[in-house]
Amino acid sequence: MSEEKVSAELQTGVVETMQRLSKLSLMPADQGNLSARDIRTGHIVVTPHAYPYDVMTVDDLVVLNAGGEKVDGHREPSYDAQLHVAVYAARPKVNAVLHTEPPYVNACGALNRHIAPITTTGLKSANGMVPIMPFRYKRGGEFVKEMLEVMGDSHGVVWQNHGLLVVGETVTQVADRSVGIEFNAQVLLLALGAGQPQTLQHVGAEMVVA
């Protein structure tokens, strides 16, 4: 893959991040997808469609231009690649987009329960509550528009009965945020089994009980 469209460092980061996350069981059966935008060129590198993470290399990645057209790579891009492109177009500060299918997040989504921040990691990872995008089978332009409205200032949004989408500035950041949101969801469900947990919120630079 040519290096001028997307830096080699960014490509390696995409592969290594998805290999790390797949070992954490955030994505069953090689589901999920990750992309990153190279701020020098505006090109977007995205994971390929339905390809196992444990054997994935940078040569399996696909590069798209800002309009979503494939400009490099021999595989098909992820099914959600155009969704990623639309998020980048709408959010200039976002340079990494990650979709995973974590079990505790999905349990909350299926229960139509927003993921309230009840741990400091959860609050930091999501920037508050993680809202829920109602289930939609098709994920085209209308889906992205509605999803970004639902998402607001949160770093993540639950796709009901499907998974999680997280945005950030780097692939490491979206990975860490996804892990943090999943662990917060796990603790939330544990706590709800015993009572009503107190939540956290940001007040200025501080975290306080909501």
Q: Cβ of residue 63: shortest distance to Zn ion, in angstroms?
A: 21
Identify the burial level of 43 via C-beta atoms within 10 angstroms of its C-beta, where 0-12 means exposed, 13-18 middle and 19 or more buried.
Answer: buried
Residue closer to Zn ion (CB basis): 19 or 31: 31
Distance CA 126, CA 173 (A): 11
Residue 109 engages Zn ion in binding (rule: CB under 5 A):
no
Q: Cβ of residue 190: shortest distance to Zn ion, in angstroms?
A: 25
Q: Cβ of residue 159: shortest distance to Zn ion, in angstroms?
A: 7
Residue 77 engages Zn ion in binding (rule: CB under 5 A):
no
What distance lies between CA 34 and its chain's CA centroid? 7
Residue closer to Zn ion (CB basis): 4 or 79: 79
Phi/psi of residue 9, nearest 5 degrees: -65, -40
Residues 1-40 that bind Zn ion (CB under 5 A): 31
How crowded is residue 82: how many other Cβ atoms within 10 Å of its Cβ? 17
Residues 148-187 that bind Zn ion (CB under 5 A): 163
Structural contact between residues 185 and 164, judged by C-beta atoms closer than 8 angstroms: no
Residue 128 engages Zn ion in binding (rule: CB under 5 A):
no
Question: What residue ranges bind Zn ion (CB under 5 A)?
Answer: 31, 163
